[in-house]
Homo-oligomer: A and B are copies of this chain.
Amino acid sequence: MVVGPPKADATTVAELGRLGVATVHEAAGRTGLLGADLRPLWPGAAIAGTAVTVLCPPGDNLMVHAAIEQAGPGDVIVITTTSPSTDGFVGELITTALAARKVAGLVTTTGVRDVAVITSTRFPVWSRAVSAQGTIKATAGAVNVPISIAGTIVMPGDAVIADDDGVVVVPRLEVAEVAEQGRRREEREEHARAAFAAGELSLDRNGLRPELDRLGVRYVSADPVTGLAADPEGS
């Protein structure tokens, strides 16, 4: 159990939260996602904070309790297990404790329970499953060690951004650079959105027509009867 890890700058982390998961992921060179199966417990949840990592054995949440003490305002608890487990590692008692400590939210590759209560209190949780299955508190794990989820390495103190699009992690020392790239991308996207809303095509705006041509994509008319390419060499 590691205490007092250095953390990503809070102001920059908040800026990453404002940009949102999809933009941050792009700004980070399309890295850092924790996979498509981590979903918010309730729609509209959106947080940004610094990771307190937790590694548990399957079906045993002892180290989650140990991690609560290490988490405070602006932190995000990130839990995974040594082998896959959908058991209910987290319920309303734990989220009550986390809310009392002003922890920003919780992300877990396991299941959670007490969904109705957690949803009504609006504590933000991302999980792989909902399961009432109880856990034990019998085995050691680790807190604030490097963990990895869906191919992304999460270090304690890294920035964790989560919203309806999933969860993305940015290494602690890269938040400023990613935020800067994110702001640029945000600006470009605002212009693009306006253009597309006005009817411009991405084929034109992004210069994709020559690319299609280079790749050999040709336009052929459909046969009015079969609906297939009229020119058999087409498509």
Contact = CB atoms under 8 A, between A and B. Distances in A.
Contacts of A85: 58-59, 83, 85
A6 interface: yes
Given A114-B165, A133-B82, A140 B197 contact: no
A22 B144 CA distance: 27
Given A115-B164, A198-B100, A133 B83 contact: yes
A5 interface: yes
Contacts of A5: 222, 227
Interface in A30-48: 30-31, 33, 36, 39, 43-44, 46
Contact of A211 (B1, B30, B137, B219): B137
Nearest to A171: B227
A119 B218 contact: no
A201 B166 CA distance: 29
Contacts of A39: 130
A72 to B, nearest CB: 11
Contact of A100 (B1, B111, B196): B196
Interface residues of A, number: 112
A25 B113 CA distance: 11
A91 B22 contact: yes
Copy tally for this chain in the complex stands at 6
Interface of A: 1-6, 20-22, 25-26, 30-31, 33, 36, 39, 43-44, 46, 57-60, 62-63, 65-66, 68-69, 80-88, 91-94, 96-97, 99-101, 111, 113-116, 119, 129-134, 136-140, 142, 144-149, 151-153, 155-157, 163-166, 168, 172, 189, 192-193, 196-199, 201-203, 206, 208, 211-212, 215-222, 224-225, 227-229, 234-235
12 contacts: A1-B217, A21-B132, A36-B129, A58-B87, A62-B211, A69-B201, A80-B151, A81-B151, A94-B202, A100-B198, A116-B163, A138-B139
